[in-house]
Chain A
């Protein structure tokens, strides 16, 4: 019976193509919007979360602000103080940074220079194109070795491998020169919110603080959490501790996980808001369905009378028209999904992201349109089923 009704519904659609198409427009746009929004939402979340995760999701960074109160506080030893203040910290690696000019015989590059510990590369999920990072021993020994970001390596050594070659660091206004040996080049790495990995060079922290710059101020404490600890909870504790020492304007904290969470929340609520708008067009579409169904029932009064005379019970007639409404909305839903995918593909392409299709959105969209079909098809179907057989038969 369902199959028969489905065929009847397709028949009815075929006989009034234009009218059907026009009434479906609302559903197509509504469903299309739902699909597009959910797809965009999932793509945005994926892309933002992705670029944030480059910085490591279990990392909290603390940036001291240089002012009167912080003077002399943020040195390398402060790591231990911070470590003891809070549960859940696995390691703290202090980073010092400044700008430096690097030179080979042929080329010059300006980059940000980071003094860091040997564990830095691991905590940042950094991988090496060639060579390797420096060892803990090299740090202790204050060796003059350097790891280059991929862009810097390309600038300084466009033709050959950089590893094993020397570069000259030119420091400060007086132009003191130091020669470093390149021991590694990084893979290209997408930049995080705070770091442009490809444009930086990395040297041992001790080398940095003892040989290059006579300044013991740490620019970042990179805190890696023990597994199982919540970023938000730990950073709250860190903030409390930092507040007690230098006040809230003496530092800033930043964690990729928290930013990612915020971004997901923003896009999620944006999605919900836009889905509500889509819901309105589905409502309008539903009213369109109701309209075409009422017209269809009125036009086919005689047919309904005939079917009743042949023994169709009210529930059978009701079923016929509900299936017809469902078929309409299902077709609208499928067209809407196609429309929504095209729309989200276009937007994502323009924004330069990669499209992440949300398969849930298809189910939601089809579900929505079916609900709309049943809801708005019910009343016309009821009307059809309640027609008086004789009146319907005599209807001209």
Chain B
């Protein structure tokens, strides 16, 4: 029996700039079940990042209902949202967003720090996650000493280390060359095969086709879905 991990019902996100209203997301409804591998596609400005940020609780909707793991995020304060981000969501960004002064290991440990896990356990869990992405031997390296693909692997290790319900990746291959991007995609694929729910944004049709589910956005609305 498949279980809903992401549930959106008529979600809107409007930005008011001066007396102009940008409808970044304009009534999106969507359900993603555990274990699905979903790609989100669409032209620039269609609201892909906006949707990812809402799912990841980095942002709050203007209206509509969002449920993560069956729990509505409506009316949650910043502390509660932070808790969801920490426990339920693993983010992977286009620009890696690693902490520049920290080693790969302590980057991966950071979410565990906020989860209140003991230093010893943190280290074990972070090393396991780095092992999964194949970078255990680079754990003492700082981001500046790593290639783009390696940085993204560290970021993926950081996203999976808390064993979240959802892995959200906003154009994770956008800053990488095709070959490296392909390797990163394979990594996501294998994570999905291990049972993790992955949602990622891409402009690359070939990468999108690797997924069992595709969602196409245009002007803040879902225009195609299969």
Contacts and interface: CB of A to CB of B under 8 A. Distances in A.
A310 B110 contact: yes
A270 B114 CA distance: 50
A309 B79 contact: no
A310 B111 contact: yes
Interface in B110-135: 110-111, 113-116
Contact of B110 (A302, A307, A314, A390): A307
Interface string B88-114: 000101000111110000000011011
A307 B82 CA distance: 10
Nearest to A316: B114
Nearest to B49: A390
Could you say which of A303, A313, A315 has the most chain B C-beta atoms within 10 Å of its C-beta? A313
Contacts of A313: 78-79, 82-83, 114
Contact of B83 (A302, A311, A389, A393): A311
Interface string A302-323: 1101111111111110000000
A310 B85 contact: yes
Interface residues of B, number: 26
A390 B97 contact: no
Interface residues of A, number: 21
A311 B101 contact: no
A252 interface: no
A9 B225 CA distance: 48
Interface stretch (B51-59, B146-154, B172-180): B51-59
Contacts of A315: 79
Contact of B158 (A1, A310, A314, A390): A310
A321 to B, nearest CB: 15
A311 B58 contact: no
Nearest to B86: A311
Interface string A1-22: 1001000000100010000000
Contacts of A390: 53, 58-59
Contacts of B58: 308-309, 389-390, 393
B67 interface: no
A301 B58 CA distance: 15
B184 to A, nearest CB: 19
B102 to A, nearest CB: 9
A53 B97 CA distance: 71
Contacts of A15: 101
B61 to A, nearest CB: 13
B138 interface: no
Contacts of B87: 311
A389 B56 CA distance: 11
25 contacts: A1-B116, A4-B113, A302-B97, A303-B99, A305-B97, A306-B98, A307-B110, A308-B58, A309-B58, A309-B91, A309-B97, A310-B86, A310-B91, A310-B110, A310-B111, A310-B114, A311-B85, A311-B86, A312-B82, A313-B78, A313-B79, A313-B114, A315-B79, A389-B58, A390-B53
